[in-house]
Amino acid sequence: MGTNYTEAIELKALYEIALLIGSAHDLATTLTSILKVMHDILQMERATLFLLDESGRFLSIKASYGLSHDERKRGVYRLDEGITGKIFASRTPFVVPDIHSEPLFLNKTRSREVNKETLSFLGVPVLVAGEPAGVLTADRLFGLDIPFAEDIRFLTVVATLIAQFLVLSREIRKNEAHLREENRSLRARLTPVFSRHDILGQSKVMQEVFVAISKVAPSSATVLLLGESGTGKELVARAVHQASRRHSRPFLTVNCAALPENLLESELIGHEKGAFTNALALKKGRFELADSGTLFLDEIGEMPLELQAKLLRVLQEQRFERLGGTATISVDVRIIAATNRSLAEAVARGSFRADLYYRLNVVPIVLPPLRDRAEDIPLLIDHFLALSNRQNRKSVRLSREVMDFLVRYPWPGNVREMQNLMERLVIMADRSQVQLTDLPPFVVAEPEEAGPRHTLPGLPVSGGSKRPSLEAMERGEIEAALKRHGWVQARAARELGLTARQMGYKIRKYGLSRPEFA
């Protein structure tokens, strides 16, 4: 084997290792990948990196290639034990031309079948600032026409790169810990600014909602919350209650669209025993249970006309009789109603009583859809993402491209849709960063009767669709990653969580090539 060929192989290995270190995020995974390069390119049978454990008294295997889990667990040495301990203590390389003839070779991992393999063993110290931090070892088949001096020289270079990576990794961990602490401190300072009444929002329209809540809460006026489904009407109703003098009293909710008329009436005003079939016991209604507190009537626009008349009487007089009863019950209940329909139009159509509408519409508060408060979207996404990560014990984050996409997404389901989407992305994520291709089809596909146009800048739109197809988004994401990494495919693939083979396939599939000027 010629010297030039050997040098070329070593240079290739060092280049691959340098790429791994240059784009590394995870210590253990990167170290294992480095040892795999030594195996694949240099034909080393086994490669092992020993590092000082937390106690500083033992050397244990931090990364390896060619060892099983049990073999790795057995590979623990005292600082003066065996060849590994000798290399560490002396800070000098060591070569065992034939492991059969070296009594210091302990084979504690029991990974070498000495009766079947004739192996050479090589080890070099890993020095950080001149002090030993670990030992890098490798096995070679005995008899390969490569001088041991060349192997030791190469391993020493690799050990130096690993030492630099260990230092870099420690600094990154220190900085990450510092940034996490700064982030916690910043969130603590920002939460009072961007969150009022336990509602997040920094946009002008949400600030107007906060002002309305603060003004109406101290009174006993009826409040009508207007807005699309999913805009957080119940959250605002609770905020009004919590900011009022009734905050220590009950807050009850009734969904007027969830029950048929007879059951809804019973739910609101209660019934006496025997009032109707299956009325086996007396039941207090929500008005009675919410006495001195607040009753939130959600989807009030779906209430049947006949029941609207009875509700109007309760609102005006604060008195009623249970179904099947004769005793009049007096209550003091504040009403907050909500609807995603236009009650004025319902009045015009005759499906909603005008007198009830005017009784409810004392203080209307309009909740803006999410598409009209785009500046709040990153804040809300961060909140729901952090919440879902805590609940699922994960640390998933969104790529910059995904965040840009979601800021422009029209959010037909508003805040409720966002919360559900963040939970879905966290649960389904199989990598630490969500990419555009991970978004579900219902987010990416444009509905036929869609609202505002929603496209990503720089990405082609296929098939006349208003939004880019999944393939168009994937092509744009891959091309952008290649540009960020100077068209080095290995680095771009690692950023996107792809293998080199997958990256090569995607590049061929989309006909991507490096521009002449790049």
Contacts of range 485-488, beta carbons closer than 8 Å, 24 or more positions apart:
485/23, 486/518, 487/514, 487/518, 488/19
Q: Is the pLDDT of residue 193 over 70?
A: no
* Length in residues, the chain: 518
Confidence of residue 171 (pLDDT cuts 50, 70, 90): confident
Question: Are 323 and 286 in contact, with CB atoms under 8 Å apart?
Answer: no
d(CA 360, CA 222): 6
Which residues, at least 6 apart from 114, have a Cβ–Cβ distance to it below 8 Å?
99, 100, 107
For residues 154 and 87, which has the higher predicted lDDT (pLDDT)? 87
Task: Please tell me the predicted confidence (pLDDT) of residue 23.
Answer: 61
The CA radius of gyration of the chain, in Å to the nearest whole number, is 34
Distance CA 137, CA 8 (A): 22
Assess whether pLDDT exceeds 60 at residue 76: yes
**Residue 192 φ/ψ, nearest 5 degrees:** -65, -25
Rounded (10°) angle between helices 305-317 and 261-269? 10
Decide if 140 contacts 44 (C-beta within 8 A). yes
Whether 177 contacts 360, CB under 8 Å:
no
Q: Say what the pLDDT of residue 42 is.
A: 65
Q: Give the pLDDT of residue 464.
A: 40
- In this prediction, residues 462-481 reach a mean pLDDT of 64
Reported as a single tens digit per residue, the pLDDT across 253-277 is: 999 988 888 889 999 999 898 888 7
Q: What is the pLDDT of residues 6-55, one digit of tens each?
A: 566 767 777 777 777 766 556 777 788 888 877 776 667 778 899 988 88
Q: Which of 99, 178, 81 is nearest to 138 (CA)?
A: 99
The DSSP symbol for 87 reads: H
Residue with tokens 């890098």: 136
The pair of three-digit structure tokens given for residue 370, joined into one six-digit string: 């999410």
pLDDT for residue 258: 86
* Pick from 157, 148, 141, 124: nearest CA to 11: 157
Distance (Å, rounded) from C-alpha 442 to C-alpha 445? 5
pLDDT above 80 for 461: no
- Is residue 50 helix, strand or coil? strand
Question: Is the C-alpha dihedral spanning 406, 412, 414, 418 positive or negative?
Answer: negative
Q: Is 367 in contact with 225 (CB distance < 8 Å)? A: yes
Domains of the chain: 3-175 (3.30.450.40), 199-368 (3.40.50.300), 371-509 (1.10.8.60)
The residue-averaged pLDDT of 100-124 equals 69
Distance CA 336, CA 361 (A): 10
Residue 472 has pLDDT above 70, yes or no: yes
With a cut of 50, say whether residue 497 has pLDDT above it: yes
pLDDT at 196 over 80: no
d(CA 382, CA 329): 48
What single DSSP character describes residue 460? Answer: P
- The phi and psi torsions of 383 (rounded to 5 degrees) equal -65, -50
| Cβ neighbour number for residue 448 with a 10 Å cutoff | 5
CA distance linking residue 471 with residue 329, whole number of Å = 65
What's the angle, vertex CA 326, arms to CA 322 and CA 327, rounded to 5?
80
Tokens of 15: 């280049």
Q: Of the candidates 257, 219, 254, 196, which has an alpha carbon nearest to the alpha carbon of residue 362?
A: 219
Q: What is the DSSP string of 453-516?
A: ----TT-PPPTT-SS--HHHHHHHHHHHHHHHTTT-HHHHHHHHT--HHHHHHHHHHTT----T
Residues 162, 124: Cα–Cα separation, whole Å = 12
pLDDT bucket at 462, cuts 50 / 70 / 90 = very low
Q: What mean pLDDT, rounded, does the chain reach?
A: 81
Would the pLDDT of 446 be above 70?
no
Tokens of 127: 């020095």
DSSP label of 374: G
pLDDT of residue 227: 92
Other C-beta atoms within 10 Å of 203: how many? 18
How many Cα atoms occupy the beta-carbon half-sphere of 317 within 13 Å? 12
How large a percentage of the chain has pLDDT more than 90?
A: 37
Which helix (H) or strand (E) segment holds residue 64: the answer is strand 58-65
